[in-house]
A and B are shown apart, each in its own frame.
Chain A
Amino acid sequence: MWLWAVIRLNMANSKHLHPVAQVFSVPSSVSIVEGISTLEHLNRVVSVDTLEMQLLGRKDGLICNANGRILDIATVCNLEARAIILGNYGTGDDTRQNLASGIPWNEDLVVKDADGAIVQLVLIGKAPQRCLVGLGIDPTELNNEKWLEFGNSLFSIHWSCSEAVQILVPTSHRESLIAALVENGAEYSDSVQWDVVRICSGILDYHELNSLNLPFELGLQRLVALDKGCYPGQEIHARMESRGALARCLVRLNSSGIIPVGKSKIENVGSVNVTDTYQVGGGSSGLALIPNAAAEIDSLLFENGVIAKVESIQL
C-alpha cells in the first residue's frame, strides 16, 4: 500500500483526479495475432523487443512507418502462441493489414479483428486500488510489465500513468464489470470527462499518437528500443537519438480562455499544434507540440488573444 501512497504524491496533476476513481470505457482497437511465431512476428514490426515476453507479460511499443512516424501504439499482452494488441481508436484495420501483409510464407500466423470482442476500460483516480480490493484483487500485484488475470478480464497499470489501471474485458462482460467497479466506489464517466482526465494525466491517444508525430518529440523514448535490431522507423529513430536535435516537444497548456485546437502561428515562437483540449468554466487545458527552442517559455499568446501557460510533461 505504501507504493500507492508514493505514487499519489508524485502525481503532478492528481488534484484533478476523482478522490476514489472514475471508470471509463475507452475506445480502442483490439487485434489478435495467433500462431507459434507470434512474438517473433511482432518483434519484426513493433519498436520494442517482444521476444522474451512471459505468459501474460506486457510490452508497450509503437508501430511506425519507414519515416519513423507513428502509425499506432501497440500494447501487447502475451497469451502464449497468441497475443492481444491494444491500439488506438480508428487504426485497427490499418494495423491488422500491416501485421497480416508481412507474414512470412513459412509461418502459420493468423491476424484477427477483436474490436467487437474485447473492450478497454480505464480505472483512474486518487485511490483506484480501493475499488480493486473490493473486487478481490490485490493492487500490489499490479504493475506495467504484466497483466493480472481476474475472472475473464486482464488488469495492468498504464505505461504512462501509474494511477491508471487498464482493463481488458470481453465485450459481453463489460457492463457487469463496470457495475462491480461502481459498486466498489468508482464513478462511471463519459468521454468528455475522459478528455479531462487524459489531458491532466498525460495519457496520449490518437490525437498525439499519429503519423504527424515522431516518438522522440512526444517524449516516448521508453517505447522505443534502439538496441533490439531493425524495425520500421528504427534508422530514423537512431539518428534522432544520436543527434539529440528535436524540432518539437510536447507540453500541457492551461488558460483562462479557450485554446484553439490545431496549428497556430505564434509570434517569436513559431508553429504550435494543439492536439486536443477540454474546457472547464470559461477556461481550457490542452496538449500541444511546440518548437523545442520554446520549451522553456512560460506562456503563449495565440492569435485570438488567448494566453496559455506552458507546463512541461514527463511521460
Chain B
Amino acid sequence: MGIMDGEGFSLPVVASVEVVDVVITFTDSAKAAMRAEFQGDEDSRVLVISAQSGGCSGYLYDMKIIEEPDDDLFQKLDVDGMTVLIHNKDSALLSGITIDFKDSLMGGGFQIENPNADRACGCGQSFG
C-alpha cells in the first residue's frame, strides 16, 4: 500500500504499565463455580483473568480457561489447586479485586468488585 511506503513512522507506541504483585480474593461460591468450569482439568489448564479496552466504562473484564500460555509475563496464583494467571500489564488494574459468583437467572455469573475502578457500567462487565 503506497501510503505506508514512506518514512516517518514511529516505533511501536509503548503503553505505560505499572506492575504490582497481584492479590485476588475469591469467594467460596466463585471457587465452586471455577471448579465446575475446569471440569477436572485443573492440572493441565489455567484461568486467565484480564482487562482489555472496551465496555461502557473504558475497560472490559475477560476470563478464559485455556492451556497455560508460554509467556513469562504472567503472575501465577494458586486457588485451592486451580491456577489463575494475571498478565503483568493488567496487574495494576486487577490487583485487589474480589471475585464472587451469583447463581441467578438474571444478572448471574461471576461478579467482580474492583477497588481500582472509579466507575463501573450497569452490567458489571466494564470498569474505568
- A residues adjacent to B (C-beta < 8 A): 32, 41, 44-45, 65-66, 79, 82, 84, 96-106, 110-118, 149, 151-154, 168-173, 230-236
- Indicate whether B12 reaches chain A with its CB closer than 8 angstroms: yes
Number of A-B contacts (CB under 8 A): 132
Q: Across the interface, do A114 and B10 meet the contact criterion of CB distance under 8 Å?
A: yes
Q: Across the interface, do A103 and B2 meet the contact criterion of CB distance under 8 Å?
A: no
Interface centre among A104, A231, A236 (most CB of B within 10 A): A104
Which B residues are CB-close (under 8 A) to A154? 3
Q: By DSSP majority rule, is chain B's interface helix, strand, loop, or mixed?
A: loop
Taking CB atoms and an 8 Å cut-off, the chain B residues in 6-27 that contact chain A are 6-17
Which B residues are CB-close (under 8 A) to A117? 6-9
A2–B6 alpha-carbon span in the complex (Å): 37
Question: Known interface pairs A104-B62, A111-B13, A112-B12. Does A152 touch B5 (Cβ–Cβ under 8 Å)?
Answer: yes
A116–B9 alpha-carbon span in the complex (Å): 7
Which A residues are CB-close (under 8 A) to B51? 102
Contact of B58 among A65, A97, A113, A118 (CB under 8 A): A65
Which B residues are CB-close (under 8 A) to A103? 15, 52-53
CB closest residue in chain A, given B85: A105
A114–B7 alpha-carbon span in the complex (Å): 9
Question: Known interface pairs A45-B53, A110-B12, A235-B122. Does A79 touch B4 (Cβ–Cβ under 8 Å)?
Answer: yes
Question: Known interface pairs A151-B2, A153-B3, A235-B122. Does A114 touch B9 (Cβ–Cβ under 8 Å)?
Answer: yes
A110–B12 alpha-carbon span in the complex (Å): 6
Which A residues are CB-close (under 8 A) to B57? 66, 232, 235
Contact of A112 among B11, B16, B52, B71 (CB under 8 A): B11
Q: Across the interface, do A41 and B53 meet the contact criterion of CB distance under 8 Å?
A: yes
Q: Across the interface, do A149 and B2 meet the contact criterion of CB distance under 8 Å?
A: yes
A112–B14 alpha-carbon span in the complex (Å): 9
Task: List the 8 closest pairs (A to B, CB-CB), nearest first.
Answer: A102-B53, A152-B2, A170-B6, A44-B54, A117-B8, A113-B10, A116-B8, A100-B15
Which B residues are CB-close (under 8 A) to A114? 8-10
Q: Across the interface, do B9 and A45 meet the contact criterion of CB distance under 8 Å?
A: no
Interface string of B69-111 (1 = CB under 8 A from A): 1010100000000000001011000000000000000000000
Contact of B55 among A112, A149, A232 (CB under 8 A): A232
Instruction: Report B120 CB to chain A, min CB distance, Å.
Output: 10
A308–B15 alpha-carbon span in the complex (Å): 46
Taking CB atoms and an 8 Å cut-off, the chain B residues in 35-49 that contact chain A are 48
Contact of A173 among B6, B14, B56, B71 (CB under 8 A): B6
A118–B1 alpha-carbon span in the complex (Å): 13
Q: Across the interface, do A44 and B56 meet the contact criterion of CB distance under 8 Å?
A: no
Question: Known interface pairs A66-B58, A153-B3. Does A101 touch B53 (Cβ–Cβ under 8 Å)?
Answer: yes
Q: Across the interface, do A32 and B9 meet the contact criterion of CB distance under 8 Å?
A: yes
CB closest residue in chain B, given A172: B6
6 example contacts (A-B, Cβ-Cβ < 8 A) are as follows A66-B119, A102-B59, A105-B89, A105-B90, A116-B10, A236-B56
Instruction: Report A34 CB to chain B, min CB distance, Å.
Output: 8
Contact of B87 among A105, A152, A153 (CB under 8 A): A105
Which B residues are CB-close (under 8 A) to A113? 9-10, 13
Q: Across the interface, do A168 and B3 meet the contact criterion of CB distance under 8 Å?
A: yes
Question: Known interface pairs A96-B13, A118-B3. Does A230 touch B121 (Cβ–Cβ under 8 Å)?
Answer: yes
A65–B55 alpha-carbon span in the complex (Å): 11
A151–B56 alpha-carbon span in the complex (Å): 40
A96–B10 alpha-carbon span in the complex (Å): 11
Contact of B5 among A102, A110, A170 (CB under 8 A): A170
Which B residues are CB-close (under 8 A) to A96? 13
A45–B60 alpha-carbon span in the complex (Å): 11
A111–B9 alpha-carbon span in the complex (Å): 10
Known: A232-B55, A232-B128. 15 other contacts (CB 8 A): A79-B3, A96-B13, A100-B14, A101-B16, A101-B17, A104-B62, A112-B10, A112-B12, A112-B13, A113-B13, A117-B7, A118-B3, A154-B3, A171-B8, A234-B56
